[in-house]
Amino acid sequence: MSYTYVGKSCKRVDGYEKVTGKAVFGADFTVSKQLHAVSLYSPKPHIRIASIDTSEALRLQGVAAVATADDVPGNNEMYGRFPVFAESEAKYTGDAIAAVAAETREIAQKAAALIRVEYEELPGIWSLDQAIGEQELLVHADATDNEMELTKFPLRKGDFENGFASAPNHFSGTYEVGFQDQAYIEPESITVLPAPFHHGYEVYGTIQNPYTIRANVATALGIPESQVRVVLTAVGGSFGGKDESVMNMAARCAVLSSMTGRPVRMDLTREESFLESCKRHPFRMEYEVGLDDDNIITALKSRLTCQGGAYNNKARFSNWRAVVHTAGAYNIPNIRADLFGKYTNTIYGGAYRGFSGPQVLFAIETLIDEIASERQLNPKDFRLLNVLREGNSIACGQVLKDGYIAAPLEMMINETSERAGFDTKWQNYPKTNESSGSLKKGIGIAVTYRGAGLGGEGVDSSSAMLTVCHDGSILLFSGHTEMGQGMRTAHSQIAAEALGVNIERIDFRHSDTSITLDGGPTVASRGTQSGGRAVLDAARKLTAALLEAAEKKTGIPADELMIKDDQLVGKDGKVICGFKELIDYCVYPLGTNLSAQGWYNPPLAHIDADTQQGDCYQTYTNGVAITEVTVDEATGKITVDRMTVAYELGTAINPDLAYGQFVGGLVQGIGYALYEEMAERDGELLTRNFDDYMIPTTVDVPPIDLKIYETTNPEGPYGAKGIGEIGIELAAPSIGNALYHATGRRLRSLPLNLERVKIGRSLKR
């Protein structure tokens, strides 16, 4: 079908404000009489707090207040066990013991240094190894064996024991990945102020999920959620990271604002951001696979263990996604998978683009390559023997159905391999490497499918509001958050298409919890898929009201009218009047309601808690990546030479934005694969800034040949699926597989840095 705006690469609606510097980010937001806040963090990873003396800090000129746990008027514990302030015990070095509000940040920093804390250093759980083996030393007294609550998920499909026992060929592997920082360009910034026109408080800043901020600030202050208003500033990237840390900051600022009656702003330095913000969850993933003599996988067993850190409100959801995707994009009849989350006295794991997908995919795609190598098979051909096809059931038992859940991976693998010249290079590189000195070339492949939206993780409802002003301009509010991903543009295109108006009429406003209903978190690639459906719902309701008014104006039945290209037209295409004239008539004499609330609430996913069997997601996206590398065996350096990639996404609302999402994900995946590593020692986070946390730069980005496949998706707006996360999943396993092809060195942990590649084996973190 041909559309006016959907499927077109319209320019970004927020482009002008960003390129001109007019966009207001968190640290740009200033109000009269604001104070500046600084947190005092725990001096050691695990301490018992004997006393806190704030008297000297309070005497410093310019200090307005010092807050500790005793000053929290509501509940000091928020969702996920996070404390506003550590009370009797600090469980990791990012715990805030106190916070100072002063006239300047410099004064606040000096005052924080004057706070005297008497403490006893305690032993702790510093690693996943220790968390798994330790039974007596507990991070939380009520968490037996350091198991995180609500993170234990068994998955059972078929009969693994018989499927594995009857298989003549057995394979196994253990894979480990560590923390990864989101590395957004803008550190966190939050301002909380007493509401100027009503009871309560207003929160402004770099916020990913405004409704969770509202709930937790209300919890900390002991007031109703209706008295907390959260408004976004422009956000300079998040990738999942600006959630828990911003929640904690907002709660501290709210306490200080309640103590002083003044606005309080807290800006994190990069070092503080590294210390306090969540990271990608570390995983240990143990696999066993049974294979018949025709190289068909008959059974798979996995045991996945996630390191949650000192607190966690995300492992419950990321762990469930991990176990559901544990078998990768393969048709396996018998599966037994178990997943556990463990507490440690370390920085905590949280949301990061991919949300457990990159961890699991690195393991399963590396294992698939290992099996192909053992069986002396072309790794592409081995995948084609076992990849999911129409009519197959995935790990949770959900069946892939043509026209509802696309299953194009076989075609995508074949076509992407042909574009990359995979077969020829896979055969020829080992021969040419024999005479190439220390420089070796390799090619690797990885395949993925990913559940779109929240699915069984939670309620996937979304909200939006559209209001036509008297001059014909249109306000669009979404319950979801623009963090740089282009959602404002995609939503504006959906609204303009559904209303039949020029996109220039649409004015997308930042999320405001006092205007829109709780649309849930902007996570799980749901901004376009779920949020876009809410926009479409609002636009259709508004269109119906306008056409009902047009019927009264023209005498023509509403079902014989439409709005197209800013004009009211009949079914014969004849123009009746302009959009502005129609709005004038709606305003007077009719008094038509020119506002509509959109709501999208897909059916709940019914999942068996004992087996995780059920229709876990409404739909799935698919991807294939082939990566070519050059490895310098003398230094261990891997250079990514080229990536040939394919992604399936339903309908591309904005092809340029989709391309940018996929490429951005691939680049982050290159960082995960090759460079990014968080150094720790006995619970102490040693990596605190970009001077020793390496991320890819433009010189590390290879040529990327990317093809987008469009398929049918009846659930998404105009057939669109969420795509924000799948892009990151394929880089690490395809690079690791290319490394093996080039050198014969198989690494089972990330990153694939110089030391690991040079030594030729994985190192312990």
Question: For 7-41, what is each residue's pLDDT tens digit?
Answer: 999 999 998 998 999 999 999 999 999 999 999 99
pLDDT of 765 over the 50 cut? no
How confident is the model over 140-193, as pLDDT tens digits?
999 999 999 989 999 999 999 999 999 999 999 999 999 999 999 999 999 999
pLDDT at 208 over 60: yes
Give the 3-state secondary structure of residue 721: coil
- Look at residue 118 and give its three-state secondary structure: strand
Per-position DSSP letters for 588-616, written without gaps between them: III----EEEEEE-PPPP---TTT--S--
What strands lie across the sheet with 637-648, from one edge to the other? 439-451, 620-632, 637-648, 704-709
Asked if 610 and 156 count as a contact pair (C-beta separation under 8 A), the reply is yes
pLDDT at 55 over 60: yes
Question: pLDDT, tens digit, for every residue of 222-235?
Answer: 999 999 999 999 99
Sheet (strand 228-232) strand order:
63-67, 96-102, 35-41, 264-267, 189-194, 201-205, 228-232
Would you list the DSSP string of 253-320? HHHHHHHHSS-EEEE--HHHHHHHS-EEPPEEEEEEEEE-TTS-EEEEEEEEEEEEES--SSHHHHHH
The closest alpha carbon to 347, from 308, 314, 319, belongs to 308
Measured on CA atoms in the order 467, 473, 475, 476, is the torsion positive or negative?
positive
Mean pLDDT value of segment 45-59: 97
Name the CA radius of gyration of the chain, rounded: 27
- pLDDT of 567 > 70? The answer is yes
Among 199-208, 718-727, 735-744, name the one with the lowest average pLDDT.
718-727
322: left (phi > 0), else alpha (psi -120 to 50), else beta? alpha
State residue 616's pLDDT score. 92
Residue 101 bridge partners (DSSP):
37, 65
Quick one: pLDDT band at residue 715, thresholds 50, 70, 90?
confident
How confident is the model at residue 714, as a pLDDT?
86
Which amino acid, 573? G
- Calculate helix-pair angle for 315-324, 357-374, nearest 10 degrees: 30
How is residue 764 written in tokens? 């312990």
Residue 240 Cα distances to 283, 355, 419, 483, 585, angstroms: 18, 8, 33, 10, 45
Give the per-residue pLDDT at 403. Answer: 79
Q: What is the pLDDT of residue 724?
A: 87
CB burial of 376-392 (b: ≥16 within 10 Å; e: otherwise) equals eeebbebbbebbbeeeb
CB distance 316 to 150 below 8 Å: yes
User: Among 67-71, 319-323, 735-739, whose mean pLDDT is lowest?
Assistant: 319-323
Question: What percent of the chain is modeled with pLDDT above 90?
Answer: 85
More confident of the two residues 747 and 524: 747
Q: What is the pLDDT of residue 571?
A: 87
pLDDT above 80: residue 604 = no
pLDDT reported for residue 763? 44
pLDDT for residue 764 is more than 80: no
pLDDT in tens, 339-381: 999 999 999 999 999 999 999 999 999 999 999 999 999 999 9
**Which whole number is the average pLDDT over 130-142?**
91
Over residues 468-517, the pLDDT tens digits come to 999 999 999 998 888 888 889 999 999 999 999 999 999 998 889 998 88
Looking at the predicted structure, is the pLDDT value of residue 748 above 60? yes
Q: Residue 318: which pLDDT band, with cuts at 50, 70 and 90?
A: confident
The average confidence (pLDDT) of the chain is: 94
pLDDT confidence tier of residue 112, bands split at 50, 70 and 90: very high
pLDDT at 657: 93
Judged against a pLDDT cut of 90, whether residue 528 lies above it is answered with no
pLDDT above 90 for 466: yes
* Phi and psi torsions of 673, nearest 5°: -70, -40
What are the Cα distances from residue 45, in Å, to 69, 275, 344, 687? 18, 11, 10, 14
- Note whether 378 and 426 are within 8 A (CB): yes
For the cut 70, the answer to whether the pLDDT of residue 81 exceeds it is yes
Examine residue 589 and say whether the peptide bond preceding it is cis (omega within 30 degrees of 0). yes
What's the pLDDT band for 316 if we cut at 50, 70, 90? confident
Please tell me the least confidently modeled range out of 345-349, 414-418, 578-582, 617-621. 617-621
Name every residue whose Cβ is closer than 8 Å to that of residue 13 and which is 6 or more positions away in sequence.
488, 489, 492, 503, 506, 508
For residue 678, the model assigns a pLDDT of: 93
Lowest mean pLDDT among 209-218, 247-256, 521-530: 521-530
In 3D space, the residue among 693, 706, 617, 635 whose CA is nearest the CA of residue 665 turns out to be 706
Once rounded to an integer, what is the mean pLDDT over residues 726-745? 97
Q: Mean pLDDT, to the nearest integer, of 582-587?
A: 95
| Nearest residue to 266 (alpha-carbon basis) of 240, 241, 284, 245 | 245
pLDDT at 524: 67
C-alpha 646/C-alpha 225 separation (Å) is: 44
pLDDT reading at 527 higher than 80: no
C-alpha angle 479/29/20, rounded to 5°?
A: 85
Asked if pLDDT for residue 94 goes beyond 70, the answer is yes
